[in-house]
Structure 1
Amino acid sequence: MGQDTEARLLLLLCVTSCGRAQADGLRGHTSVIEVTNGGPWGDWTWPEMCPDGYFASGFSLKVEPVQGIPGDDTALNGVRLHCTRGNAEHVVESKSGRWGLWREPMWCPNRGFLVAFALRVEAAMTPGDNTAANNLRFRCSDGTELEGPGLSWGEFGNWSDSCSKGVCGLQTKIEDPRGLRDDTALNDLQLFCCQS
């Protein structure tokens, strides 16, 4: 059984058994969008959803700057969605890595919303200082593309499918700290499409 299949089974189990609040939060999504180039390390964590009636119109990234030799680089550590409804804002975040700082939010213009994403990932190196996910791009409902302030190692993969009614939740794949061994932090991301 592949990691993606395992993640979906865990999500399904969580929806049915993790508690009413989390299950209620997932009821409003119709599909999951993902990319094919995510990093290989870590585990899928919990999903976080925008409140009902809110749509993700911005995002912010947690990024560790370049550590230099002999430091251990982790690059992209976390993603937050900035969900809006009128003038109200609500921020959601799945699990994030421990390193780095949160950068300023980036917003879709003209009250637009996020509909698709692409992930910049550095291929695995053995031996070497692996970083996995380095940066993130989002496409907005008006076609505008926003590139986060992540690092430049690796390549952007293909765009995910699009959410016709916008993005309203996320789930991250995170490698926990490994002590003196090589850390990568954020490896992959899935987004939930809004139902209405």
Structure 2
Amino acid sequence: MEWVLGSKLLLLLLWATCCESAEGNEANKKKDDTTIIEVNNGGPWGDWAWPDMCPDGFFAGGFSLKVEPPKGITGDDTALNGIRLHCTRGNAERNTRVVESQSARWGAWSEPQWCPGSSFLVAFSLRVEDTSKGDNTAANNVRFRCSDGTEVEGPGLSWGTYGNWSNSCVKGVCGLQTKIQSPRGLRDDTALNDVRFFCCKS
């Protein structure tokens, strides 16, 4: 009887180890499947918010920006406040899904900017103002490269300079995550500082 119980216990331990190992390998595989594209010139302020992804089978064919216009000499400028991805399945299903990580509260959303035809977003470059200004704004604009080679620039502001292009997503962009500085009251606000994008897995 003791031998039977011992054998069953050993089998249970082996089964648990096997399953945990398989689950761990599957989790690692899923983690490895997610490719992120980033740039190295993002602003230094704020915290990374939650990621938001296009539904399975969709990819980002366009984008829109939330931008605060210049406020003049006495105002506190924030420039780029948010980015949305417009997820499609091609021309037939444009603008049916919109994803957005955290955005700041200032400004208004632009109309979508689209890649031509059924092409999709694959790489980006971020326009950022350096940190030596009295009224810092951090990120001001973003431009994307489409799968057909077309470059599409957002309707952001012209302060600062564009950094290097990110790497390219082979199968297109499918999600994003923004870095946002929370409102600071009477102190200098910068809103959106940085962004990273997630590549489609299939």
TM-score range, shorter chain: 0.7 to 0.9
**Normalized per residue, which structure has more helix?**
2
For 1:81 and 1:27, how far apart are their aligned partners in 2? 22
CA distance in 1, matches of 2:128, 2:63: 18
Select which of 136, 141, 155 maps to 1:135.
141
Q: Secondary structure at the match of 1:69?
A: coil
Which runs of structure 2 are paired with 1:74-89 in the superposition (5 Å)?
Answer: 74-86=78-90, 87-88=92-93, 89=96
Structure 1: state its 5+ residue gaps.
1-22
Q: How many residues align?
A: 171
Matches within 5 A, 1:22-33: 30-33=34-37
Q: TM-score, normalised by structure 1?
A: 0.84
* Structure-to-structure mapping, 1:1-196, within 5 angstroms: 30-86=34-90, 87-88=92-93, 89-125=96-132, 128-196=134-202
**Would the aligned equivalents of 1:33 and 1:162 in 2 still touch at CA under 8 Å?**
yes
Counterpart CA distance in 1 for 2:135 and 2:33 is: 37
Cα distance, 1:30 vs. partner? Answer: 2.4
Helix, strand or coil at the partner of 2:158: coil
Unmatched runs of 5 consecutive residues or more in structure 2 = 1-26
The list of structure 1 runs, each at least 4 consecutive aligned residues, that deviate by more than 4 angstroms after superposition, is 26-29
Give the Å deviation of 1:28.
10
Q: Could you tell me how far apart the structure 2 residues matched to 1:184 and 1:177 are?
A: 8
Give me the TM-score of the superposition, normalised by structure 2. 0.82
Q: Could you tell me how far apart the structure 2 residues matched to 1:146 and 1:46 are?
A: 25
Distance 1:29 1:54, change over 3 A: farther
Structure with a larger share of its residues in strand = 1
Identity %: 74
